[in-house]
Amino acid sequence: MGRRTVGFALGAALSVTALLVAACGSEPPVSDPAGATGPVGVLEPIPATALPGAPADPVELDAAAISVDAVDVAGLASLLEDAGFVGGTERLFSRALPGRRRTLARVLVFETPRGAQLYLRWLASHVEDVIGDAELDIAPAPVESLFVHEPNPCCHNETRIFLAMWHDGATVLTLEIGGQSARAGAVTELASQLDAAV
């Protein structure tokens, strides 16, 4: 009888300990400002099927990774903090045929739509930091701003580069499209596909 009592007490103590460990070790999902569930700052990667071409592995982006886009790294880092940058993800899609094209898709999440607009204004005024000298072009929906960098005729390896940017609430989406077959006509289709995929 004594053994049964000790065994029961030991079993009960182990059960309570296991419950406490489980309760402390598991946190409920937290809704991030964009409305997705999961820990704040953790985003779903851009799907491998979002855009045509061979997809590279997705890359998670923090403020430090975004800030290196700027000549003034510290200035962009400060702006991202003020804008309430939560986190981001990017994926590169490469195509060789019927012509080389490289498409870099990014999704960045902010705490509020105002923060997303603040970053978009910075990006539109610092395009040269990202793709070099560029001209504003007609932006097809859903794109809000489209910039085009024309290659230098003296540099045979340089190609045309498009930078498209838009936002959906607190989420910013960008496409950087370059390569020998980069064409303005592809921007609408690629932007619509990315917009639908995320």
Query: Is residue 165 a part of any domain in this protein?
Result: yes
Around 144, how many Cα atoms within 13 Å sit in the side-chain half-sphere?
15
Query: Is residue 66 a part of any domain in this protein?
Result: yes
What is the reported pLDDT for 156? Answer: 66
What is the reported pLDDT for 97? Answer: 81
Distance CA 195, CA 36 (A): 16
Query: Is residue 103 a part of any domain in this protein?
Result: yes
pLDDT at 5 over 90: no
Query: Is residue 173 a part of any domain in this protein?
Result: yes
Question: To 10 degrees, what angle do helices 113-125 and 73-83 make?
Answer: 160
Q: pLDDT band for position 180 (50/70/90)? A: confident
* Stretch 32-57: mean pLDDT: 72
- Residue 171: other Cβ atoms inside 10 A: 21
Would you say 49 and 197 are in contact if contact means Cβ atoms under 8 Å apart?
yes
Query: What is the rounded radius of gyration, in angstroms, for the C-alpha atoms of the chain?
Result: 23
Query: Is residue 76 a part of any domain in this protein?
Result: yes
Mean pLDDT computed over every residue of the chain: 82
Q: What percent of the chain has pLDDT over 70?
A: 77
Question: What is the residue type of 58?
Answer: P
Count of domains in the chain?
Answer: 1
- Could you report the per-residue pLDDT of 77-119, keeping only the tens digit for each? 999 999 999 999 999 999 988 889 999 999 999 999 999 999 9
* Stretch 111-136: mean pLDDT: 96
CATH number of the domain to which 186 belongs: 3.40.1000.70
Q: Which domain holds residue 62?
A: 33-197
Query: Is residue 26 a part of any domain in this protein?
Result: no
Query: Is residue 27 a part of any domain in this protein?
Result: no
Query: Is residue 8 a part of any domain in this protein?
Result: no
Question: Counting beta carbons within 10 angstroms of the beta carbon of residue 93, is it exposed (0 to 12), middle (13 to 18) or buried (19 or more)?
Answer: buried
